[in-house]
Amino acid sequence: MDKYKVSSNLAISENGFLFFPSTGDSFTLNEIGSSIVGLLKSKKSKSEIIEAIVEEYDIDENSAERDVTDFITQLINFNLAEEL
């Protein structure tokens, strides 16, 4: 339960505007959300993403794990990502 796949045609702009072409849904992500989607798109595992977030932002590992898990769950609920 560490690997996820985001839809290949998911488009995300530099401003964090995310558009899903097959449903027409759009979302606005903050900087960390954009980073996580970018990392998922480059096929990073959840633990690698947590590691990257801890390194990049001033946050402890437990909080990073909780927030990343919560965010990925939301992506799955919106059909934007799936567990591999």
Partner 1 sequence: MNIAITGLNNVDNPGPGVPVIRGIKDSPKFDGNIIGLMYDSLEPGAYLKDVTDRNYLIPYPAGGLEPFFERIKYINSKEKIDVIIPTLDAELYAFIKLESRLNQLGIKTFLPTLEHLNFRGKDKLSSYCESNDIIAPRSILINSVKDLHQIPSELSFPVAIKGIFYDAHIAHNIEEARTHFNNISSKWGLPIIAQEFIKGEEYNVVVLGDGNGGSIGTVPMKKLFITDKGKAWAGVTIKDEILLDISDKIISSLSWKGGAELEFVKEKESNKFYLLEINPRFPAWVYLAVGAGQNLPYALFELALGKEVDKFEDYEVGKIFIRYSWDLITDIKKFEQITVQGELDNG
Contact yes or no for 36/72 (Cβ under 8 A): yes
> Does 24 engage in binding with partner 1 (CB under 8 A)?
yes
At 38, list the tokens. Answer: 């970018």
Tell me which of 19, 32, 38, 41 binds partner 1, using CB under 8 A: 19
User: What values do phi and psi take at 19, rounded to 5?
Assistant: -125, 130
Q: Compute the least distance from the CB of residue 74 to partner 1, in Å.
A: 17
Does 9 help bind partner 1 (rule: CB under 8 A)?
A: yes
Instruction: Write the interaction track for partner 1 spanning residues 41-80; mark x where CB under 8 A is met and - where it is not.
Output: --------------------------------------x-
Contact criterion met (CB below 8 Å) for 10 and 82: no
23: contact with partner 1 by CB under 8 A: yes
* Nearer of residues 42 and 79 to partner 1, judged by Cβ: 79
CA distance 41 to 72: 12
Cα 37 from Cα 64, distance rounded (Å): 15
List residues near partner 1 by CB under 8 A: 9, 11, 19, 21-26, 79
